[in-house]
Homo-oligomer: A and B are copies of this chain.
Amino acid sequence: MSANKPQLYESLEPSLGVFLGRVFRHWRSAVNKAVAHLGMTESRWTALMLLKKTGEGCTQQALAKSLMIELPSLTRTIKQLQEQGLIERRPDPNDRRAHCLWLTDSGREMVDELAGYILAIRREMYEGLSDEQLNVFADVLLRMEVNAQNCLTKLEEA
């Protein structure tokens, strides 16, 4: 038989992960540039948006889980959002160790205002790509996330 023909995906250079990181960085640059005039950055915007989605009143732990980042990474972001007057931290009535997070009124306005910018960038990112392509893409990304975690787990066991 003939040799395996080279596949397009083998051309992702210098490696799949590096390529992923590259596209991510470019996307982040675009987001940061688009929302800078509002005093926002990508990480703060993401936290703000996920707080709304996760449900106001949730703990930092819960928000960190939604964001899939570690608690210490969130601590800094929360402090900044608080200083900007976009969120409030209130003591958890059931657990004196925990803090509940709430959007302020201007926090809610900010979320609404940001949504338009983010949507516009998303549209640009999807430009020229069909639903079919994007569905496969999403499917692969979802699977890769699982694969990466399995891989990490194996490495930790070893």
B-side contacts of A143, CB under 8 Å: 127-129
| Known interface pairs A26-B145, A144-B125, A147-B127; A20-B20 also in contact (CB < 8 Å) | yes
| Known interface pairs A121-B151, A138-B11, A140-B133; A17-B27 also in contact (CB < 8 Å) | yes
Say yes or no: B147 contacts A22, CB within 8 Å: no
How many copies are assembled? 2
- Cβ-closest chain B residue relative to A127: B147
Instruction: Give the docked Cα–Cα distance between A46 and B22 (Å).
Output: 12
Say yes or no: B24 contacts A21, CB within 8 Å: yes
Say yes or no: B139 contacts A133, CB within 8 Å: yes
| Known interface pairs A125-B16, A148-B23; A134-B33 also in contact (CB < 8 Å) | no
